[in-house]
Amino acid sequence: MSAGLIERFGKGERRAVARAISAVENETAEAGSIIKEIGALLGRARVLGITGPPGAGKSTLTGALIGEYLRRGERVAVVAVDPSSPFSGGAILGDRLRMGAHQADPRVFIRSVASRGHLGGLSRTAARVIDVFDAAGYGVVMVETVGAGQAEVEIGLLADTRLVVCPPGLGDEVQAMKSGVFEIADIYVVNKADLPGADGLERELLSMIGLRAHGPWTPRVVRTVATSGEGVASLVAAIAAREAAGSARAGRRERMRRLLASGAADWLRERIESLRSSELERLCDAFGEGDLAPIEAWRRAAALVSGFEIED
Ligand SMILES: Nc1nc2c(ncn2[C@@H]2O[C@H](COP(=O)(O)OP(=O)(O)O)[C@@H](O)[C@H]2O)c(=O)[nH]1
Ligand SMILES: [Mg+2]
């Protein structure tokens, strides 16, 4: 199948795209050659992460964003990460209906990925699926995940721009948003802005943003009514501003860097926690006594368990 894959991608053959996705998702024998073959085509897509509590309107908003990007001449792919069992397609079916208006459009590709069965590997699988869409010429790839779990943290690593969708009326949940994965937001979307409480929520989010230190990008708040499309053009403008600010420009290599950093950190933690060696015990003691600067202790621990001397 991989013979002529690039050609078939070029012709917009959906079956070739679907088959390549299944191969990388299931890590079949041909996955490796597909990944190699598409290597030269990568790095053009912008990846949007869309997360938020169930019922926030993520799928409706994703559908509205698809429409807006199509109007701007883009081809759009969606990766819907279903948190429920891979055997119950209900949630996926509902989401497909909500994005349904675009389902038949040849410039749109919607794909569901089960989050179960990929323990610890969801981000890697999703990264490969994103690569296939990228190679196939989808300029915008949206990844929808639900809730505030590990999946969101992992997907957050993959997205160039992270949207957190929050509807009014959550009350205490806004407090919860102040910690945890909601801190990954580049743009807060106050969806269901047609409902009471949107003003208050927007003010709360703005003051929350004002209280925190930021890097080069200060998160924005955008109000939308996904069901009518109101505010969706402004949201796309905010996403474009974020992309133009350079914070998201590094694209795929930055995604890979974040994935590497996250995987390496997990690997190091596991090794340091499990290794029993007298040298490491001495290091723990010295660290506990305050004899070592933290950074020096970290460097030594990393060097000890990885077996390599770490250069300055
Ligand atoms: N009033 C109102 N309802 C909305 C809006 N956006 C989505 N909904 C409704 O909220 C419900 C959940 O939407 P859905 O997109 O499935 O949310 P998800 O679980 O976050 O993907 C559906 O009944 C939508 O029609 C909005 O802006 N205003
Ligand atoms: Mg949904």
What range defines the domain where residue 16 resides?
A: 1-40
Give the ligand 1 atom nearest the CA of 144. 21
Both 80 and 160 in one domain: the answer is yes
For the chain, how far is it from start to end, CA to CA, in angstroms? 46
pLDDT of residue 85: 41
Q: Is 59 part of any domain?
A: yes
How many domains does the chain divide into?
3
Alpha helices in the chain (DSSP H): 5-10, 14-25, 31-38, 58-71, 90-98, 122-135, 150-158, 172-177, 198-211, 232-244, 251-274, 278-289, 294-306
Element (H, E) at 223: strand 220-223
Both 49 and 66 in one domain: the answer is yes
Give the ligand 1 atom nearest the CA of 225. 27
Phi (first) and psi of residue 114, to 5 degrees: -75, 135
State whether the beta carbon of 225 lies less than 6 angstroms from ligand 1.
yes
pLDDT of residue 231: 98
Element (H, E) at 82: strand 76-82
Contacts with 268 (C-beta within 8 Å, 6 or more apart), sequence order: 301, 302, 305, 306
Q: Domain boundary residue among 212, 228, 249?
A: 249
Both 10 and 157 in one domain: the answer is no
Q: Is 312 part of any domain?
A: no
Q: Name the token pair of 94.
A: 């509902």
Rounded distance between C-alpha atoms, residue 244 and residue 221, angstroms? 17
Both 31 and 49 in one domain: the answer is no
Q: Is 311 part of any domain?
A: no
Do 162 and 187 meet the contact criterion of CB atoms below 8 Å apart?
yes
pLDDT of residue 92: 52
Rounded distance between C-alpha atoms, residue 190 and residue 18, angstroms? 34
Q: Which residue has a Cα nearest atom 25 of ligand 1?
A: 227
State whether the beta carbon of 192 lies less than 6 angstroms from ligand 1.
yes
Nearest 10 degrees: Cα torsion 98, 103, 104, 108: 140
Element (H, E) at 48: strand 46-51
State whether the beta carbon of 288 lies less than 6 angstroms from ligand 1.
no
Q: Residue 207: give its domain's CATH number.
A: 3.40.50.300
Q: How far is the CA of 59 from the centre of ligand 1 (A)?
A: 7
State whether the beta carbon of 55 lies less than 6 angstroms from ligand 1.
yes
Give the ligand 1 atom nearest the CA of 54. 19
* Residue that the structure tokens 């055997």 belong to: 87
Model confidence, pTM? 0.81
pLDDT tens-place values along the chain, 312 residues long = 545 887 888 787 889 999 999 898 888 888 888 988 888 888 889 999 998 888 899 989 999 999 999 999 999 999 988 655 443 344 455 555 566 667 778 899 998 877 655 445 667 788 889 999 999 999 999 998 866 566 666 677 788 899 999 899 876 666 666 555 556 789 999 999 999 999 999 998 898 888 777 777 899 999 999 999 999 999 999 999 998 876 555 667 777 787 788 778 888 888 898 888 899 999 999 998 988 888 999 999 998 888 755 554
Both 53 and 35 in one domain: the answer is no
Give the ligand 1 atom nearest the CA of 230. 27
Q: Name the token pair of 293.
A: 């600067």
